[in-house]
Amino acid sequence: MTGNNALLKIQQLTVNHGHVQAVKQLDLEVREGEIVALIGANGAGKTSVLRCISGIVRAGSGRILFAGTDITRLEPHLIVKAGISHVPEGRGIFADLTVMENLSIGAYIRRGSKEIKADMAEVFQLFPRLAERKKQLAGTMSGGEQQMLSIARALMARPRLLLLDEPSMGLAPLLVREIFRAIRRINRNGVSVLLVEQNTKMALALADRGYVMETGNIVLEGSSDQLKDHHMIKSVYLGMNER
């Protein structure tokens, strides 16, 4: 269910990696309650956009507005506090800590153990496998379980916006479907989502709208249905990673 209010608004964003401009004058928005897909080939600049939103890399120029507040220069922990959680490519879990310890770290900005406990119960409902493995070391779990943990840990900060970077990467199709079903449920519970995903077909099936990036630029945007039917998407992107 989409609203009209822009929760995230990116204006004329540039991101530089040394002498290379990874993101060029990018405009993008995520409205309250939306799932927005950001698709494109490897090296298009998608991950740089997410890392810049969450404060891991600095913008060269442009602005990032979240809920009407300029967060462009905020430190990463303050961006989490503002309501944005980032699930990075490669998951970034703490391998030598248990599932419970990883989830507790996700709630580090919060006070109130009752609420934190309730949220843990909620993520265990979302991902029952994690409940079965509460005391297991995260590094000993399968790739799919680690991806679930990475998403669950991000949810422990109670975000309004979830940034997801390649959640299907390296996972068996069955697990990918499970992860995508969970993302839909998270969204129905009121969390907006900006999804970077190589599996174009699945991303557009899940998202309300999408943007296509090539070499740092947005080259196409529209509703998921418009993008699915676009000749460029059909010829270049649909079929990607579906072999």
Average pLDDT over residues 41-47: 92
243 falls in which pLDDT band (50, 70, 90)?
Answer: very low
78 φ, ψ (degrees, to nearest 5): -75, -30
Token look-up 């609203």 returns 3
Average pLDDT over residues 48-69: 97
115 falls in which pLDDT band (50, 70, 90)?
Answer: confident
Task: Kindly list the structural domains of the chain, giving each domain's residue range(s) and its CATH number in brackets, ordered by start.
Answer: 1-83+159-242 (3.40.50.300), 94-158 (no CATH)
How many Å apart are CA 74 and CA 214, to the nearest integer?
A: 27
How many Å apart are CA 56 and CA 79, to the nearest integer?
A: 10
pTM for the structure as a whole: 0.93
Average pLDDT over residues 226-238: 85
Average pLDDT, the chain: 92
Query: For residue 239, what pLDDT is reported?
Result: 56
Beta bridge partners of 220: 212
Query: For residue 41, what pLDDT is reported?
Result: 87
Average pLDDT over residues 213-219: 95
Task: Identify the H or E element spanning 211.
Answer: strand 209-214
How many Å apart are CA 169 and CA 172, to the nearest integer?
A: 9
Regarding beta strands 69-70 and 61-66, do their DSSP bridges make them parallel or antiparallel, or are they unpaired?
antiparallel
